[in-house]
Structure 1
Amino acid sequence: MNDIVQESGATLAYGALGIALMALGYLVVEVTTPGRLGHQIWTEGNRGAALLLSAKLLGVGAIVTTAIVTSDDDLGQGLVDTTVYGLLGIVLMALAFLLLDMFTPGKLGATLVEGAAVHPAGWVVAAADLAVAAIVAGAVS
């Protein structure tokens, strides 16, 4: 019974940390795209904005999951490791976005969320987010 209580506590701690890191990922997308992200996705049905946010959340989730799976039995150190790798992943995804923005005409964030259809560049940014997440996850293990 003691094990299930400890494991439940660890699950809650990792879950809260994962949600906090995904919220930070949400804020990164919010800052890099014009307009209110929530309004664009849930009210306007903007598929480009939804694709960007989905890729970011999947990437952060993959990094957090890998950090948890590879962490030792020390909960405190595991939470620290997960935080560090999660933050590094978010920073690297933001840098990848900024690099792509430098090499594309116009403002990439605006291009990605204008119109109802997904701009082809949206798939490139989504792939970059997932690739960066895979690289970070690979570095964790």
Structure 2
Amino acid sequence: MTTLATDLLATLAYGVVGLVLMAVGYLLVDVATPGRLHDLIWADRNRNAALLLASNLVGVGVIVTTAIVVSHDDFVDGLVSSAAYGLLGLLLMAGSFLLLDLVTPGRLGEILVDPEPHPAVWVSAVVHLATGAVIAAAIS
């Protein structure tokens, strides 16, 4: 029973780290897009904003999952590496957003919240996913 309790507590700790990182990702996407992300997605049903946020969350999830898997049952190392690599991933995703905004026409934030679907959203989403995958591969 001790092992189950220990495993449940470790899972809870990893879950909290993952949720905190996803909350930070949400805030970063909210800052990058004009308007309130909450209103854009839940009130206005903006698919562009939803896709951008979803790709950010999946990218963070891939990074955190990989950090947990490669921690080889070292709980403290797993928590620290999950948090550190997750934050690095979020910074790189934010940087990739800014870089993509610099090299493309218009303001990417405004394009991404347009009520009409826009192909630039798919490009930005794939950049988030690819960034998460690259960091995950670097961890392992």
**What displacement does 1:107 show?**
1.0
Separation (CA, whole Å) in 2 of partners of 1:37 and 1:73: 37
- For the residue of structure 1 that corresponds to 2:55, the secondary structure is helix
Query: Residues 14-48 of structure 1: CA distance to partner in whole angstroms, max 9, x if unpaired?
Result: 00000000000001100000000010000000000
Distance 1:21 1:125 in 2: 19
Q: Segments of 4+ in structure 1 off by > 4 A?
A: none
Q: Give the secondary structure class of the aligned counterpart of 1:118.
A: coil
Cα deviation, residue 74, structure 1: 2.0
**Partner amino acid, structure 2, of 1:10:** A
The amino acid across from 2:66 in the alignment is T
CA deviation after TM superposition for structure 1 residue 104, in Å: 1.3
Q: Please give the TM-score of this superposition, normalised by the length of structure 2.
A: 0.98
Match of 1:140 in 2: 139
Q: Which amino acid aligns with 1:59?
A: G
Which ranges of structure 2 fall in alignment gaps of 5 or more residues?
A: none
Equivalent-residue separation in structure 2 for 1:23 and 1:65 (angstroms): 16
Whether 1:22 and 2:42 are equivalent positions in the alignment is no
Question: How do residues 10-49 of structure 1 correspond to structure 2 at under 5 angstroms?
Answer: 10-49=10-49
How far apart are residue 79 of structure 1 and its match?
Answer: 0.5
Describe the SS at the equivalent of 2:38: helix
The amino acid across from 1:114 in the alignment is D
Q: How does 1:6-85 map to 2 (within 5 A)?
A: 6-85=6-85
Aligned-residue RMSD, C-alpha? 0.7
Q: Distance in 1 between matches of 2:72 and 2:17?
A: 17
Q: Deviation per CA, 1:66-113: give whole Å up to 9, x if none.
A: 100111322111111111100010011111111000011221011110
Give the TM-score taking structure 1 as reference length: 0.97
In the other structure, the counterpart of 1:88 is 88
Counterpart for residue 118 of structure 1: 117
Q: Which blocks of at least 5 consecutive residues in structure 1 are unaligned?
A: none
Between the aligned partners of 1:61 and 1:35, the Cα distance in structure 2 is 25
